Chains A and B, each alone.
Chain A
Amino acid sequence: MTMAGTTPRRRVSLGGALPALTGLGTLIAFFAIMEVLIRSGGLNRFIVPPPSEIIASFPRIIVEEQVLSRFVMTLTECLTAGVMLTIVGVSGGVLMQRFKLLQQACETWVAALASAPVVLCYPLFLVIFGRNAWTIIMMGFVSGLPPVILKTLEGISGTRKVLVNVGRSFNLTPTQQFWKILFPAALPTIFVGIRLGLIFALINVVGVEFLINFGGLGQLINELAERYDLSGTYAAICFVVLVSVLFFMVLEKAERWLTRAE
């Protein structure tokens, strides 16, 4: 697999539920200890509110701060960026694979861009696009683009030689060779690229919302923090973390479903 860490997927005879229960138990114990420490004054409750208070402020946040419409807003920005980076990224990768010279000239540039802190351009984007959703969408788009291009390129160039030869032995035209062999062979890798691109898009969309105090969930955290609504801030952060974890899980499921034949 291509990501640095993958979930341990092997099922071994370690008593199925025990490790999962240990993990969950530790988490609950941690929150319980925090609760006790804060209530007993061992930790300053004006820095860390007790977990029970954070949980209690969830309904308040959801009702009073329109979390749902903010969530839809963030998701829309993220998916808009996702559509853009899929179209631009995949066609960019295909183009670079088609024209070797272009690949030789630009691949290192794209790779370098992937390792640069592109999100620091947000003040620049703010000037160019103004304080509106497009600044956020474009930031998500630009930071998610490199993995889509690179993975598309990797997928198509990495097609096994023998599959290319099978196509040649059946006398495929270059167009058929692309659509019947190279592209389907590259699809699983391209999906990995799109998944990575969407993850980067979400991270940067939420981050820029927070930084420029505009838009959906990111702005909510900023607002609550500026109001010194302590338990509200913590609750909003928890909500965003939960939403992003859910987002990754959905993306993984989608990817596995799309590549189920492989």
Chain B
Amino acid sequence: MTAPSPKPANADILVVDDVVVRFDTPDGPVTAVDHVSFGVRPGEFLSVIGPSGCGKSTLFNVIGGLLGHTSGVVSVCGETINSPHQSIGMVFQEESTFPWRSVTDNVAFPLELIGMPKAQRIERARHFIALVGLDGFENRYPNELSGGMRQRVSLARTLASEPKILLMDEPFAALDEQTRLLLGDKVLQIQQQLKQTTLLITHNITEAVQMSDRILVMTYRPGKVKRIVDIDLPRPRTSEIVGSEAFGRYVAQIWADLREEASRGMRDEEEHALHQTGAAS
């Protein structure tokens, strides 16, 4: 990618405008995402944070074009999204490498789809494998790698399609805390290096504050935008920043917002469970 020159804030590359997602469930319709609007600026790292059940994964699927929405508009560079768009590269929460392909073939997958000649796509794949720090593992298969390494393969595969926007859904959720922090550093470094516009869905406050330029806090069901917080911490950042005082203030501020929502979620779940056992017996 070429380095984009600084653009005015209103030239958002991704626009989510008044999006509503409603599901029909046996208990009646449920609003998962409720009139959510925000924009992502070129080169920006934006995180969406919220308690479980706030519809952030639904939002991920809608932006990625995997899930339809009830009303509102999602657009990338002015193009409305109704199905998966080549400008958006998705990294999933679950283990999503292809077990039948080597690391190189996994990463070369999107290049294969656009018909790039074999020699060329292997070279490109190697570039992205090196970028995520997996050089030396090109010919290994996913079952020979650790969970963190496999997630880096998924990341490299998505980056290889050179998306305008990198869309990630809790990519580190299944990893242990230390791996998660180190991997966070890696993602941050790559993001800065490529000036990659990134939208991260997470429930981890530390992770969000460490990486983001802005954080969007969502409310518990129905998921609405509660607040957008600018994170004004110096870059380049690493996981060492976690110890700083400014960092702590941001974490406290966001936790104060989230706490209310999370406890509402917990109460709701308790009531739901109580209701269910009551109905069953």
A residues whose Cβ falls under 8 Å from a Cβ of B: 160-163, 165-166, 168-172, 176, 180-181, 184-185, 187, 261-262
Interface residue ranges of B71-87 to A (CB < 8 Å): 83-86
CA distance A191 to B268 in the complex (A): 47
Chain A to chain B contacts (Cβ below 8 Å), 13 pairs: A162-B93, A165-B96, A168-B84, A169-B64, A169-B66, A169-B89, A170-B110, A176-B113, A180-B109, A184-B101, A185-B98, A185-B99, A261-B102
CB distance from A183 to the nearest CB of B (A): 10
Given contacts A187-B100, A261-B100, A261-B101, 20 further A-B contacts (CB under 8 A): A162-B92, A162-B95, A163-B96, A166-B90, A166-B98, A168-B65, A169-B66, A169-B84, A169-B89, A169-B90, A170-B84, A170-B109, A170-B113, A172-B113, A176-B113, A184-B98, A185-B100, A261-B99, A261-B102, A261-B143
A261 partner, pick from B90, B109, B141, beta carbons under 8 A? B141
Q: Which 3 A-B pairs have the closest CB atoms?
A: A162-B94, A169-B90, A261-B141
Size class of the contact patch on chain B: 20 to 34
Residues of B within 8 A of A163 (CB): 96, 98
Chain A contact surface mostly = helix
A-B contact count (CB 8 A): 57
Residues of B within 8 A of A261 (CB): 99-102, 141, 143
CB distance from B91 to the nearest CB of A (A): 9
CA distance A180 to B65 in the complex (A): 20
CA distance A232 to B141 in the complex (A): 51
CA distance A162 to B99 in the complex (A): 13
Residues of A within 8 A of B161 (CB): 170
CB <8 Å contact, B100 and A171 = no
CB <8 Å contact, A168 and B98 = no
CA distance A185 to B99 in the complex (A): 8
Residues of A within 8 A of B99 (CB): 185, 261-262
**Which residue of A is nearest B61, CB measured?**
A165
**Which residue of A is nearest B112, CB measured?**
A180
CB distance from B121 to the nearest CB of A (A): 14
CB distance from A58 to the nearest CB of B (A): 44
CB distance from A191 to the nearest CB of B (A): 12
A168 partner, pick from B66, B101, B102, beta carbons under 8 A? B66
Given known A-B contacts A162-B94, A169-B90, A184-B100, A262 and B143 have beta carbons under 8 A apart: yes
Residues of A within 8 A of B84 (CB): 168-171
Residues of B within 8 A of A172 (CB): 113
**Which residue of B is nearest A163, CB measured?**
B96
